[in-house]
Structure 1
Amino acid sequence: MKNLYMNVFASLIIFAAILIAVFSWLNYMMLREMQGNQQQELWNLVENNVMTDMQTVDKAYLYFDESYTEKMEKELKSLRNYYKKNPEVETWDIAAIKERTEMEFYIIDTTNTIIKTTYQPAQGLDFNECCEKFAKLLNERRAQETFVSDGLDNSAATKDLWKYGYIATADHQYILELGVPLSDTQLFKSFNFFDSSASLKEKYNDLKDIRIISSEGFFLESSDDKESIHDMPKTWQSTYNKAVESGKAQRYESELKNGKKMIYRFKPYTAENRRGNSTDRVIYTAYTNDTEMAMLKESRRQLEVMLAVAFVTSIMALLIIFKIFTRPLRLATYDVLTNVYNRAFYLQQMHKMMQNKQKYPIGLLLMDLDNFKQVNDQFGHPVGDEVLKQFAQILHQNIEKGHYVVRFGGDEFGIILEKATEQKMIQLSQKIMNSVHDKTGECWNLLTTSIGGAIQQCEDETENSLFARADDALYKTKKKGKDGYTYAA
């Protein structure tokens, strides 16, 4: 019966543990999903901020562009006409051109090399080496005779932001170029997405880097010595190229220590008013998962607290449920008055023992208290009930492991013995009778014990047969004068 109680309690514990584990796992997964959504929202927020700023800048520069474009077109057409009169560009006074136009002047030959310029950092720059896409574009522009103006772009030589205009000479030998740096203009100071990017990095701890990459793979306004995608790792370059080729956002991750990682994202951007390759860009952002790790750490702490509280609460609830649940089970198993097994348990236990294929001989002792009716009549039923309780205690004190005390009703008790022998039954009976003799008290002076015993004669003997033989032995004891033991041979 103890095993039954333990099994019931263990089942309730396992059920509660599974329930807590399932709910905890669901809560954890919901939290992970929420954190993933928050991370995605952060990415979208940052990138949309940068895109909005770039759109604002592009629109502002579009208006700014008109005045510069008109002036550039006028000056470049004038220089192309001058080229017709003097095609020897080596003799040109480019310093005077810069002074007149208030712009830097460049001459690009058929090899896409700047052979003459007022801007010394660009002298000798070969676009075939640094800017393959732009070199192809120059070849197309050299074949035309129209003026072309690019939008916001970065200098191939210094990587800062410029405005450029181009026109090819009539003989298609050169491209004449004018450029003006934008970083010193009031417009740039008013509409500068680099300042916005810096403020975003200050605002969001996970955001570690924001860069704008030109169509040629150069970083606009680079804050370190990394000037182009070629200065970055191979995986970085590969992901960037996928974003450019697909026109869709791409990302990759690199693992750091202790579960931390870096997330790199590339999002293509094209201005609403496209002006050459300069308005095709990629927004690059780099994030850590520090916030996610902190949230996971906190969520694990909360989960541990929740599990502890849930476990303690569940144990308390289970103890109450167990007590409520086992009460009727106990009533069906134990005698209410004496707290020994009842007849229902006796039948169940006998059936179980007799079904055991490797069973040992089963013994049964039946006994009652001689003169118990006299005690009830003389001292009252409450005293009689107390006598029955004490007698049950006597039986418990004298039995060994594998013995089961049963009350059949009234003053009739029994003991089931596993591995029974005639000698063991005699010894146990004598101990019980001696214990009753040793009891003191007026009522106990009237009481003795009559006992009858039987051992299962063969494996096929039934409980009814065994009980009948033990009962017959008890009857013989009483007939002989009570206060003794009779064995049914």
Structure 2
Amino acid sequence: MLGTFLSLRTKLTVTIALFTVIVVFIISAFDYYQLKQNIVSEKALQYQLIDDQILHSLKNVDLVYSVFEQDMENQMRNALEEMAKRYRGNPDLSRWNFAALKQSFNSMDIFVIDRSIKVAYSNIDKEVGLDFSNAGDFTALLKKRIDGSEFTADGMEVSVNTGAIKKFAYLPTYDHKYLLEVGINLQDSSLFDTFNFLDESATILQKYNIVKDITIYSHDGYALGKQGEDGKALKIAERLKPAFTEAFQSQQIRGYTETAEGKELVHRFSPYRLDDKSTDLSRSRVIEIVFDNTSLNQMLAGRLKDALLKIVIAVAAALIISFIISRLITRPIARMKQLSSARLCDARRYIGAVQRGRPLFRHPAGRVQRSLRAAQHVDRPYRRRG
């Protein structure tokens, strides 16, 4: 009897506790999921606002330059046409004084690209030998220009060897052996000082501690206004190239996540085009914003810890409450079983005595009355509870 009673109490305790734990776990998990989604959505919105701010600044610069670039392009056209005329009279470029030409062209840098799509001559010595033969779409564009006959001009571009932001223009020679090129350093102009997206990037870095770096890349992966350790234009890291290329080709935001110095960094690549001119690669860029996700992960870890603590407390409370409830339910059942067992034992003894021909009690009536009073005494508290 006692084993059966303990088994019943254990079953009740386990059942009530398990039900409570399941309910608490489901509610806590749902609350944590909703809280996590809210935190992640809030961070994503913040990331998008920062991204939009950079895009807006960059677009303003491009729009302003598009208004004033006509005057710059006229100056560049005049310089290139004069060089083309000079080439007709003196095609031996090795005898040209490119430094003097730069001074006569209002400090424009001069480049001459041959049919191997390499820089053959320039007033900048370190630019000579620069190879564009494996530059993808830009290589095809240069080949098209050297075989053409028209003046063409790019928008805002980056100098590979210096990282400076420049504007370039092109004109082929009459015999299509060379592509003449001139460049203007836009960072030296007062216009750039007024509409400077590099300063805007620095302001955002100071304003938002979750932003670790902002870089604007040209279509071929060179950073505008940034230099690498070698003093040349900063080129996108190899590990980031797949995300960068996919963002540029698909014109959709792509990301790359890595862990550096114990911090989770998210590289967000946002493509940008000023217009739909498919041949003008200088108006196609990719903005990289590096976000530090450490604070986000710490916040989520803290919320998860709180949720687990709530579950532990709920489990402990469920065990205590289920134990108390099981005792309240099983105690009257146990007493009823004890009383029934005692009565059954008395009845068996009485029947046995009668069968043997001698009464068990000298005063059976008094014995029965005492048993009834004892039963009433045991049963009275539970009638009051009922």
Is residue 2:81 matched to residue 1:77?
Answer: yes
Aligned pair partner of 2:237 in 227, 232, 238: 232
Deviation of 1:182 (Å): 1.4
Q: Which residue of 1 aligns with 2:377?
A: none
Is residue 2:360 matched to residue 1:477?
Answer: yes
Pairwise mapping of residues 392-407 of structure 1 onto structure 2 (< 5 A)?
A: 405-406=338-339
Deviation of 1:25 (Å): 1.2
Q: Is this contact kept in 2: 1:452–1:470, CA < 8 A?
A: no
Q: Which residue of 2 aligns with 1:243?
A: 247
Percent of paired sites with the same residue: 24
Is residue 2:167 matched to residue 1:163?
Answer: yes
Pairwise mapping of residues 36-435 of structure 1 onto structure 2 (< 5 A)?
A: 36-102=40-106, 103-128=108-133, 131-225=135-229, 232-233=237-238, 235-255=239-259, 261-272=264-275, 274=277, 276-307=280-311, 310-311=314-315, 326=329, 330-331=331-332, 333=333, 341-342=335-336, 345=337, 405-406=338-339, 413-414=342-343
Separation in 2, partners of 1:264, 1:475 = 101
Deviation string, structure 1 residues 90-126 (Cα, Å, up to 9, x no partner): 3333333222221122222222232332233323323
Deviation string, structure 1 residues 327-367 (Cα, Å, up to 9, x no partner): xx655x36xxxxxx33xx3xxxxxxxxxxxxxxxxxxxxxx
Q: How many residues in Structure 1 have an aligned counterpart in Structure 2?
A: 360
Q: Judging changes above 3 Å, is the alpha-carbon distance between structure 1 residues 20 and 472 closer, same or farther for their aligned structure 2 residues?
A: farther
Separation in 2, partners of 1:146, 1:406 = 114
Q: Which runs of 5+ in 1 are unaligned?
A: 335-340, 346-404, 417-450, 455-466, 485-489
Separation in 1, partners of 2:96, 2:233 = 34
Matched residue SS, 1:82: helix
Matched residue SS, 1:153: strand
Pairwise mapping of residues 452-471 of structure 1 onto structure 2 (< 5 A)?
A: 454=349, 468-469=351-352
Separation in 2, partners of 1:114, 1:474 = 133
Deviation of 1:181 (Å): 0.8
Q: Which residue of 1 aligns with 2:382?
A: none
Q: Is this contact kept in 1: 2:154–2:168, CA < 8 A?
A: yes
Q: Which amino acid aligns with 2:291?
A: Y
Q: Which residue of 1 aligns with 2:372?
A: none
Deviation of 1:145 (Å): 1.6
Deviation of 1:255 (Å): 4.9
Q: Is this contact kept in 1: 2:146–2:172, CA < 8 A?
A: yes
Separation in 2, partners of 1:480, 1:303 = 69
Structure exhibiting the larger radius of gyration computed from Cα positions: 1
**Greater fraction helix:** 2
Matched residue SS, 1:253: strand
Deviation of 1:278 (Å): 1.0
Q: Which amino acid aligns with 1:177?
A: E
Q: Which residue of 2 aligns with 1:26?
A: 30
Matched residue SS, 2:162: coil
Q: Is this contact kept in 2: 1:452–1:473, CA < 8 A?
A: no
Deviation of 1:257 (Å): 8.1
TM-score, with length taken from structure 1: 0.64
Q: Is this contact kept in 2: 1:452–1:472, CA < 8 A?
A: no
Which has the bigger relative contact order, CA under 8 A and spacing at least 6?
A: 2
Deviation of 1:140 (Å): 0.9
Separation in 2, partners of 1:216, 1:136 = 13
Deviation string, structure 1 residues 221-247 (Cα, Å, up to 9, x no partner): 2254386787623x4222222223333
Q: Judging changes above 3 Å, is the alpha-carbon distance between structure 1 residues 91 and 310 closer, same or farther for their aligned structure 2 residues?
A: same
Is residue 2:8 matched to residue 1:4?
Answer: yes
Q: Is this contact kept in 2: 1:477–1:483, CA < 8 A?
A: no
Q: Is this contact kept in 1: 2:217–2:287, CA < 8 A?
A: yes
Question: What is the alpha-carbon root mean square deviation over aligned residues?
Answer: 3.4
Separation in 1, partners of 2:89, 2:353 = 142
Deviation string, structure 1 residues 167-216 (Cα, Å, up to 9, x no partner): 11212122222211111222222222222222323333333232212112
Separation in 2, partners of 1:294, 1:304 = 15
Matched residue SS, 1:30: helix
